[in-house]
A and B are shown apart, each in its own frame.
Chain A
Amino acid sequence: EVHLLESGGGLVQPGGSLRLSCAASGFTFSSYAMTWLRQAPGKGLEWVSLISGSADSTYYGDSVRGRFTISRDNSKNTLFLQMNSLRAEDTAVYYCATVEIAAVAFADWGQGTLVTVSS
């Protein structure tokens, strides 16, 4: 059974940094692209970033490009999101998810970690 567990969320001041982690188990981690998504309180879903299984390709949403960096450690089955220059509008629950093999759709999700950007 696929299990994804996010960690690293919390309260951070505007302009600050935070690193999220997603520990994966129950599947061959290196064979799957992985992604981060977020959901602001009471709002809809927003795709943030995606990384290929081998980490040779990365993609970002317009609102985070240049501030966030996605990475992975396949030896530790862990996905990361380094978030810099945080803004109030980055406040959200951040989810990691697996990417389907044959479609860029998100099959398995973690339960999310809350990031709050506030002074």
Chain B
Amino acid sequence: EIVMTQSPATLSVSPGERATLSCRASQFFSSNLAWYQQKPGQAPRLLIHGASTRATGVPARFSGSGSGTDFTLTISSLQSEDFAVYYCQQYSHWPLTFGQGTKVEIK
């Protein structure tokens, strides 16, 4: 099983600032990685797949990068609606696995 490790666990950011979230895989794979956003009491929302392809309707301030074992989700200028928990997920190998999440909170 590929173990996905996200860092930091919590990220405190002021509105308008840039946020950088990391996701590291225990095994090498190409770009079969997705990012999700989850707000309290809601189902997750797909943001990025293929490591860098934004899902339909996702604002351009969200961008993904990386390949191999190290991946990054960047939110260029945090808006109030972006404060949430973010998960990465690999789909290179079965079983599919998620990171433990990074909570982005208001500083």
Contact = CB atoms under 8 A, between A and B. Distances in A.
B87 interface: yes
Contact of A45 (B1, B44, B50, B91): B44
Nearest to A112: B43
Contacts of B87: 44-45
B96 A50 contact: yes
A61 interface: yes
Contact of A47 (B46, B49, B95): B95
A88 interface: no
Contact of A104 (B32, B98, B99, B101): B32
B49 A59 contact: no
Interface string A19-55: 0000000000000000000000000111100100000
B81 to A, nearest CB: 18
16 contacts: A45-B44, A46-B98, A47-B89, A47-B96, A47-B97, A59-B94, A61-B96, A62-B1, A95-B43, A100-B49, A102-B50, A103-B32, A103-B91, A106-B44, A107-B46, A107-B55
B77 interface: no
B36 interface: yes
Given A103-B34, A103-B49, A45 B89 contact: yes
